[in-house]
Amino acid sequence: MMRGFVASVAFLALASSASAWGNSGHQTVGYIAQAFLAPKALSFVQTSLGSTYNYSLGPAATWADSVRSTTAYKWSAPFHFVDAEDSPLSGSCSVSETRDCANGQCILSAIANYTTRVAQTSLSATQRTEALKFLDHFLGDIGQPLHVEAYEVGGNDIPATCGGDSTNLHATWDTGIPETNIDANYGGSVVTYANALVSRIKTGAYKSLASSWISCSSTTQTLSRRLPTTRDEIAAAIMHRSDLRTLAATAITPLKCPLVWAQESNAYDCSTVFTYKSGSDLCQGTYYAAAVPIIDQQLAKQGYRLAAWLNVIFDGMTNLP
């Protein structure tokens, strides 16, 4: 039985050096999801996570980042993102499963894999809990525009300034802008921030949008997956397979919904992310003002989607408006 894709899979791809949303953003996604869980999903989450994570998806959401650099889990690093080989600076943004995840080593296949595993009762409780924690994290990752973008290593190689500190564009979106916003407007509290976004979903500005966020909520509808056919595709596939054990990864067929979510996030690379003015502080001024509403909504959206996803798995329907 596979652990992850394959328990012994080697680390065969360069991973993004940043962690999408940072701890604050990921915890926000988890806390939002927790607020919308249906009874069976809630029971599974609380039983699986236990007191270690205060029975909540919020604290558990950072686990996947905390283990990705360890020897035991370094194989998981490529599953935090998909390198969309598009052209955001020319206004052409897109994510393609066959182009960007032909070897099956990306977040699209990872979400499909752990969706299957979390519901697989033949697995041990430990294995299913691990699957839950990966889903908790990856549904956050896929909402970060630079985790669905290949240009300049998802912005990691683009120098930036945030709050007077030297950083890079990826880290600015991961942590700089979200944490500046949380500190300035929510007393530095992730819980307060998450509760505010939950209120927007239930009764505020997001109420009319929330149903559209989960219009794609099938945990079984797949994309048609084709085998590599061109010389370049075959070479790439071979390069990412160290031995026959990793061939099992190709059996994971990406689901439709993660691609939909990735494409939505990726669109912001063209509309907002790469519109910065070189030399400016991106955690203040017009760029910051444009980014905050997007980040707020992406975190709210992915938290709501995580709840819907788990509800469908365990309760048979989204149980959400």
255 DSSP β-pair partners = 222
Active site (annotated) includes residue 174: yes
The per-type count for the chain, helices as H runs and strands as E runs, is 14, 2
Of these residues, 21, 63, 75, 173, which one is catalytic?
21
Active site (annotated) includes residue 147: yes
Residue 197's contacts (CB-CB under 8 Å, 6 or more residues apart) are 28, 32, 206, 296, 299, 300, 303
Of these residues, 63, 75, 83, 170, which one is catalytic?
170
Residue 249's contacts (CB-CB under 8 Å, 6 or more residues apart) are 5, 6, 9, 103, 104, 105, 109, 241
Of these residues, 141, 269, 281, 296, which one is catalytic?
141
Of these residues, 65, 136, 281, 296, which one is catalytic?
65
Active site (annotated) includes residue 173: no
Of these residues, 147, 200, 241, 305, which one is catalytic?
147
Active site (annotated) includes residue 80: yes
Of these residues, 117, 128, 137, 241, which one is catalytic?
137
Of these residues, 100, 136, 174, 296, which one is catalytic?
174
Residues 155, 173: contact at Cβ < 8 Å? yes
Active site (annotated) includes residue 65: yes
Of these residues, 26, 240, 241, 305, which one is catalytic?
26
Of these residues, 68, 240, 241, 305, which one is catalytic?
68
How far apart CA 194 and CA 207 sit, in angstroms, is: 15
Active site (annotated) includes residue 136: no
Of these residues, 80, 117, 240, 241, which one is catalytic?
80
Of 26, 262, 51, the residue nearest 133 (C-alpha): 26
Catalytic positions, please?
21, 26, 65, 68, 80, 137, 141, 147, 170, 174
